[in-house]
């Protein structure tokens, strides 16, 4: 387990060590690992106040435990990247585990889970300038489109601007689009083929160029038709910890056969698997690639 005291001491006494570690990080030669796909560990949930994994509502609330799980996942063969907010990525920089990894900074975390302003998803974390300054490979943004919430238009505009700013620096813009609705006061994503086709086509058109845009999408029914909606490269997300892990892996494997799908970006399903074997869960996911 990482020594939290060392991390705290560095943040108090040597805050410049974070920038130094970023500058000294060995950059990856490709977005793709040796198996020809991307295998990204997602760890940006806490900044939205989304700490649940499976039945544990505060699973991601212990930072030492979370960092241990991330470090275990990043150490496994075939895992070539991580997605996170500044606090997590900077801990990982201080721990020295990001050499040769594709590092994606999470950008809009203002749409806190369970709030009235969740759809008005402000950019409160990384921006294109800070991602470039850190030497990271790209930025990720969540785009939830709620036809009944006027806050959607501000998020659309902000995501479009961010896509252009990242592209202007030749950095990946990873866009995670959904059609969303409030159900009993809570935001729920519509996981139908029709909704995902619509969401992807909107996301693909954001910004002044799509040259550096990748999509981050869930597995839904009729994925062949869904992924035919765009030529942009896509990564499959893991979502909640599945009750039936075998079914989840089977769905990921089937989606990976589609030509636009270039890998996996998975968080809770691998960091908090049933049974607790992070290394085993990650190795099984890598085997699909």
What is the share, in percent, of the chain residues with pLDDT greater than 90? 93
Determine the Cα–Cα distance for residues 264 and 134; give it in Å rounded to an integer: 24
Please give the pLDDT value at position 200. 98
- Would the CA dihedral through 39, 66, 128, 141 be positive or negative? positive
- 146-153 mean pLDDT: 96
- Fill in the DSSP letter of residue 229: T
What tokens were used for 4?
Answer: 């939290």
- What is the structure's pLDDT at 54? 87
Inform me whether the pLDDT recorded for 3 exceeds 90. no
User: Rounded to the nearest 10 degrees, what angle do helices 86-95 and 16-24 cross at?
Assistant: 70
CB neighbours of residue 69 within 10 Å: 27
User: What integer is the mean pLDDT of 126-150?
Assistant: 98
Q: Comparing C-alpha atoms, which of 47, 207, 199 is closest to residue 121? A: 47
Q: Is the pLDDT at 234 greater than 90, yes or no? A: yes
**What's the whole-number mean pLDDT along residues 142-159?**
97
Residue 244: pLDDT above 90?
Answer: no
Task: Report pLDDT digits (tens) over 71-113.
Answer: 999 999 999 999 999 999 999 999 999 999 999 999 999 999 9
* pLDDT (0 to 100) of residue 76: 98
pLDDT tens for each residue of 103-122: 999 999 999 999 999 999 99
Q: Assess whether pLDDT exceeds 90 at residue 243.
A: no
Provide mean pLDDT across the span 123-136.
98
Q: How many CA atoms lie within 13 A of 17 on its CB side?
A: 16
- For 19-31, what is each residue's pLDDT tens digit? 999 999 999 999 9
Distance of CA 229 to the CA centre of its chain: 21
What the chain holds in terms of domains, given with CATH numbers, is: 4-287 (3.20.20.70)
According to DSSP, residue 61 is labeled G
Quickly state the pLDDT bin for 241 (edges 50, 70, 90): confident
Q: Are the beta carbons of 273 and 281 closer than 8 angstroms? A: yes
Tokens for 278?
Answer: 């992070």
Instruction: Please state the separation of Cα 205 from the chain's center in Å.
Output: 20
Q: Produce one character per residue of 159-190: b if its CB has 16 or more CB atoms within 10 Å, e if not.
A: bbbbbbbbbeeebbbbbbbbbbbeeeeebebb
Q: What is the pLDDT of residues 169-214, one digit of tens each?
A: 999 999 999 999 999 999 999 999 999 999 999 999 999 999 999 9
Partners of 213 in beta bridges: 173
pLDDT, mean of residues 157-175 = 98
Mean pLDDT for all residues in the chain: 96
Residue 240 has pLDDT above 90, yes or no: no
Whole-model pTM: value is: 0.96
**156 pLDDT exceeds 80?**
yes
């Amino acid at each position: 387990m990482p020594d939290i005291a060392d991390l705290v001491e560095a943040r108090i006494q040597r805050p410049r060590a974070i920038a130094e570690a970023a500058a000294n990080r060995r950059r990856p030669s490709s977005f793709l690992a040796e198996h020809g796909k991307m295998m990204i560990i997602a760890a940006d949930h806490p900044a939205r106040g989304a700490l649940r994994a499976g039945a544990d509502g505060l699973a991601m609330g212990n930072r030492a435990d979370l960092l241990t799980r991330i470090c275990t996942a990043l150490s496994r063969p075939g895992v070539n990247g991580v997605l996170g907010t500044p606090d997590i990525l900077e801990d990982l920089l201080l721990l020295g585990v990001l050499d040769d990894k594709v590092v994606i900074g999470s950008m809009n975390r203002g749409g806190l889970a369970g709030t009235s302003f969740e759809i008005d998803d402000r950019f409160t974390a990384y921006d294109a300038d800070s991602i470039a300054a850190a030497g990271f490979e790209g930025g990720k943004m969540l785009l939830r489109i709620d036809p009944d919430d006027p806050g959607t238009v501000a998020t659309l505009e902000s995501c479009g601007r961010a896509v252009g700013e990242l592209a202007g620096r030749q950095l990946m813009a990873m866009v995670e689009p959904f059609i969303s609705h409030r159900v009993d006061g809570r935001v729920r994503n519509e996981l139908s083929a029709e909704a995902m086709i619509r969401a992807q086509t909107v996301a693909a058109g954001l910004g002044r160029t799509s040259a550096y845009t990748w999509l981050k999408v869930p597995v839904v029914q009729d994925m062949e038709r869904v992924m035919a909606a765009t030529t942009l490269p896509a990564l499959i997300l893991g979502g909640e910890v599945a009750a039936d892990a075998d079914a989840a892996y089977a769905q990921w494997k089937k989606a990976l056969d589609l030509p636009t799908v270039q890998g996996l970006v998975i968080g809770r399903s691998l960091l908090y698997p049933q049974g607790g074997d992070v290394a085993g869960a990650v190795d099984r996911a890598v085997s699909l690639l």
